[in-house]
Amino acid sequence: EAEVAQSPRYKITEKSQAVAFWCDPISGHATLYWYRQILGQGPELLVQFQDESVVDDSQLPKDRFSAERLKGVDSTLKIQPAELGDSAMYLCASSLAFSGGAQNEQFFGPGTRLTVL
Amino acid sequence: RKEVEQDPGPFNVPEGATVAFNCTYSNSASQSFFWYRQDCRKEPKLLMSVYSSGNEDGRFTAQLNRASQYISLLIRDSKLSDSATYLCVVNGRSYIPTFGRGTSLIVHP
Nearest to A42 among B42, B87, B94 (CB): B87
How many angstroms away from the CA of A97 is the closest CA of chain B? 9
Residue A4: pLDDT over 90: yes
Average pLDDT of the residues of chain B? 94
pLDDT, tens only, B40-55: 999 999 999 998 888 9
Residue B99: pLDDT over 80: yes
Q: Are A34 and A47 in contact (CB under 8 A)?
A: yes
How far apart CA B46 and CA B76 sit, in angstroms, is 18
Backbone angles phi, psi at A12, to 5 degrees: -115, 130
Q: Which residues of A touch B96 (CB under 8 A)?
A: 45, 48, 55-56, 98
Per-residue confidence at B102, pLDDT binned at 50, 70, 90? Answer: very high
Residue A101: pLDDT over 90: no
Residue B26: pLDDT over 90: yes
Strands (E), chain A: 5-7, 10-13, 19-24, 31-37, 44-50, 53-56, 65-68, 75-79, 88-95, 107-108, 112-116
State percent of chain A over pLDDT 70: 95
| Distinct helix (H) and strand (E) counts, chain A | 0, 11
Of A96, A101, A103, residue with least CA distance to A25: A96
pLDDT, tens only, A46-67: 999 999 999 999 999 999 999 9
Nearest to A48 among B4, B44, B96 (CB): B96
Q: Please, what sign has the CA dihedral across residues A46, A51, A54, A55?
A: negative
pLDDT, tens only, B65-80: 999 999 999 999 999 9
